[in-house]
Structure 1
Amino acid sequence: MPDEDPLKIGAGPPKERADAARNRQKILDAAARLFERHGVAGVSMDQIAAEAGVGKGTLFRRFGDKSGLAVALLDDRERELQQGVLSGPAPLGPDAPAGARLVAFVEAYADFLEANLDLVHLSETASPGARYRVGAYQFWHRHVTILLAKARPDLDADYLAHAILAPLAADLRKALNHQAERAKAGAVTLALLTLSGVTTGP
């Protein structure tokens, strides 16, 4: 089974002129401040442009819409979790058994989702199927697939990786409005059942 290293979450922002890079960072910083202060739903693109001191046209050209801003803001935060997966300490990092790593990842991603729920929800629901097209989901899915294949080679790891990630969808978390700890515990239980359950009927 291939290692996770070749797959990265996105390629990062393209190299650009210094003034363009400064404008991009000003916009992201302004959006983060406003989202923190008023919530994602309570902030308009006009407000973000004004806070950043850029024209609205510049904002739309760079990010398209508010979901594009959400994806950009999440990028650095997702990379931190990715680095924990690729090179961090056990049990999230590589120096732990596959099953323990899988449970640790589910716990870590549940915490990440809670900390960034509105941004993740906006990025995942911008259009039908948006969740499955972003690089972050593809990385998480591959990581879970690799761990499952190592821990339970008798299972259809590719399919079951989607099943393990399904409860960690932001729209489900918001729609059911479960308490954070209940949602996390349920996702971990599903992972543990997948790792330990039988695959034949009674």
Structure 2
Amino acid sequence: MRNLLPPPRSGQPAGAEAHERADAARNRQLLLDAAQQLVREQGVDGLTMDALAKRAGVGKGTVFRRFGNRSGLMRALLDHSDTKFQAAFMFGPPPLGPGAPALDRLIAFGRARLLDIEVEGELHRAAEIGEGVGRYGGPPYGLLKAHVSLLLRAADAHGEIPLLADGLLAVLGAPMVLYQMTALGYTREQIGDNWEAFVRRIVE
């Protein structure tokens, strides 16, 4: 049978190469966790390559090798945040994850998303504005829409489910949420209460 595995580099055993890849992935994860902590504590402006290197206890060159520049770090951090959020609502504990009634999961979904936007809002806003209309056809938005649509159907919501899902997700758009917080002075809790009331009007 033909061996489908690529040959080891420079005579290095395949197992050692796989171990190196696992170490690299783990180190990248640790760097992104440290970056997320910095953003939560100091805001996006506090996230610099120097600050991340110091927080993670690595050389600055290591950070540049992993992400290239600050823009690359920001994109990687947003992907990291979205991946953790997706894992939470797909596989995490209830009420955000499986095991709770659909209505409770919808409410928890919005409140959890608002927490992400509050602490990493500039990242979300930059991404949403940068992607423009095209973001609605991309996989990240598609997964959120599919999840909300599934919960709406499970909750026996009436109406065009895809349109309802888009309408609900629009309430959680980072530019709108940040405007409500910074310009209008609403708290995350108030916006979350409005989300819950909106969801209940649609479902109940």
**TM-score range, shorter-chain basis?**
0.5 to 0.7
1:1-202 map, 5 Å: 28=32, 35=39, 39-41=43-45, 53-54=60-61, 62=67, 66=71, 68-129=72-133, 131-132=135-136, 134-152=138-156, 154-177=158-181, 178-196=186-204
Name the TM-score, length of structure 1 as normaliser. Answer: 0.66
Q: Per chain length, whose mean CA-contact separation is higher, i.e. which structure has more relative contact order (CA < 8 Å, sep 6+)?
A: 1
Letter in 1 for 2:115: D
- Cα gap change, 1:38 to 1:92, in 2 (>3 Å): closer
Alignment TM-score, normalising by the size of structure 2: 0.65
C-alpha RMSD of matched pairs (Å) = 3.5
Displacement of 1:161: 0.5
Alignment CA distance shift 1:39-1:83 (3 Å):
closer
Measure the CA separation in 2 of the matches of 1:34 and 1:103. Answer: 28
- Deviating above 4 A after TM superposition, structure 1's stretches of 4 or more consecutive aligned residues are 15-38, 41-45, 47-52, 55-59, 62-65
**Which letter does structure 2 place at the counterpart of 1:158?**
P
Alignment gaps of 5+ in structure 2 = 1-17
Which structure has greater helix proportion? 2
In the alignment of these two chains, the number of paired residues is: 178
Distance 2:153 2:95 in 1: 17
**DSSP-derived class of the 1:116 partner:** helix
Letter in 2 for 1:136: P
